[in-house]
Chains A and B, each alone.
Chain A
């Protein structure tokens, strides 16, 4: 990098230049928006701390998000950014915020939603099964499943669903989605300059979050098959997956894992699912929801109804995800 202080700004400028056919970067880099508004369509806005690229700005474009608000690295954006984004992409049909369930994101989006004049709703993503939901915790984190929620909602918004329908659909996709991850190395927040956590070469962190925040357990490094078994079992159990069900499977890299290893994990996960008679209807493999340069991966499954599959297959044209057009 050049300087930690200007890293985000320089990266956003590069992103905007590289994808000028799809996105616009707002003044003061408050948000990235779709180049052309579609009148009458509900505007989908997400956002979160930087460091998870391509999430969220990489998913701005036809068939997915209308705007994404980047915060500082691993820090939620501010309500001001979200409100300005909402005003900029409002198509007259209301605004739907898609928020990962982290305290900071929740509070900032809540403040924005309260201050906003436009009709709005919030879909909260909390797909991480590593930490259990209880009345005593903030609840489960929102991680890689956010991509699936954003893709399916984006397609539904594009076909003309209204705000209330999208809110119901978003909650349903979130409920049908579960994720769990494992980290082999830490990540380093540039401005902090040192690794977020210490981990030796022969250890792994099971249940790690997407900020390199420690998970539940530190264990000896296992084989790919044993990791796939543990992650998939947790996801399967949470979703109550049964034989003959179909899933959308996302094997997501955390930023420091080569595709060679991710495809190996796809294969290992596919075998675990096949043992219990679960079919993978759609695959997505790659580093989409990252934690800077952390090595490791997460497994996300969404129970696939025919409607979810048709929305998943619908055309999308963004910096990081494009098919069907």
Chain B
């Protein structure tokens, strides 16, 4: 399994889901989320050759900086901070426990950046439960992470938006899945799929 393949697949799934992400954001936001994710994904794909042979940490930092420099909107700082923090916190040859610790640090960085907490209909509502699953020693870990990401994303539909642009909608945001959560779930699912097939 190559890191390059994981990144290629995880970014491509965002490009492939452009229309779904756009529709989700049009329902409760301003409709730019799908395009922003596509722009970031393609910018990362354009750097794949540069990242060849570099460590996981360096690749994560490169991807994070690319997100910040190329996306804009909320997604640039949010996905950029997530990736850069993972790149900073992960040790060499990380275990699933190391991933859990680095993800916890990333969630804290995102909370500081966007002032969002668990339960406020943002991608943190996917990252937080996934982090908790990662922290456990359990069989079928990859399958459980994948399922958790998927379920957590769907669960944002029942939350009131308190952060991000959908917060301006009040009750009308209810019943709609948060687009950022959906993107996060798509990325995590894709990583799990690639790891499983390898």
Which A positions have Cβ atoms within 8 angstroms of B?
49, 71-80, 102-104, 107-108, 110-111, 130-131, 136-138, 141, 189, 191-192, 194, 196-197, 209, 211-216
Contact = CB atoms under 8 A, between A and B. Distances in A.
Contact of B165 (A72, A79, A102, A189): A102
A78 B169 contact: no
Is chain A's binding surface mostly helix, strand, loop or mixed?
loop
Most chain A CB atoms below 10 A, which of B31, B39, B167: B31
Contacts of A79: 68-69, 77
Interface of B: 22, 26, 29-32, 34-36, 39, 68-78, 113-115, 162-165, 167-170, 172
A189 B68 contact: no
A104 B73 contact: yes
A104 B162 CA distance: 15
Contact of A108 (B26, B30, B76, B167): B76
Nearest to A137: B167
A78 B167 contact: no
Given A108-B77, A216-B170, A196 B31 contact: yes
B172 to A, nearest CB: 6
A80 B68 contact: yes
Contacts of A103: 74, 114, 163-165
A293 B36 CA distance: 21
Contact of B74 (A76, A80, A136, A213): A76
B136 to A, nearest CB: 32
Nearest to A194: B26
B26 A196 contact: yes
Nearest to A136: B162
B168 A209 contact: yes
A39 B164 CA distance: 38
B165 A73 contact: no
Given A49-B73, A197-B26, 17 more contacts: A72-B32, A74-B32, A75-B32, A79-B69, A103-B163, A104-B165, A107-B114, A108-B72, A108-B77, A111-B77, A131-B170, A137-B167, A138-B115, A209-B30, A209-B165, A211-B30, A215-B168
Given A108-B72, A108-B76, A213 B165 contact: yes
Given A103-B164, A138-B163, A76 B22 contact: no
Contact of B35 (A131, A141, A192, A197): A192
A213 B168 contact: yes
A189 B163 contact: no
B32 A110 contact: no
Contacts of B31: 74, 189, 192, 196
A137 B32 CA distance: 21
A27 B113 CA distance: 29
Given A72-B35, A80-B68, A192-B31, A138 B167 contact: yes
A222 to B, nearest CB: 20
B171 to A, nearest CB: 9
A73 B32 contact: yes
A231 to B, nearest CB: 17
Contacts of A75: 32, 35-36, 71-73
B85 to A, nearest CB: 13
B183 to A, nearest CB: 14
5 contacts: A76-B76, A111-B68, A131-B168, A192-B34, A196-B26
A136 B163 CA distance: 8
A211 B73 CA distance: 13
Contacts of B172: 214
Contact of B26 (A102, A104, A192): A192
Contact of A212 (B30, B70, B74, B113): B30
The 8 closest A-B pairs by CB, nearest first: A211-B30, A107-B77, A104-B74, A75-B73, A104-B73, A71-B72, A78-B72, A131-B168
A72 B162 CA distance: 25
B30 A189 contact: yes
Given A78-B72, A103-B74, A137-B167, A213 B30 contact: yes
Nearest to B69: A80
A269 B70 CA distance: 43
Nearest to B74: A104
Contacts of B78: 107
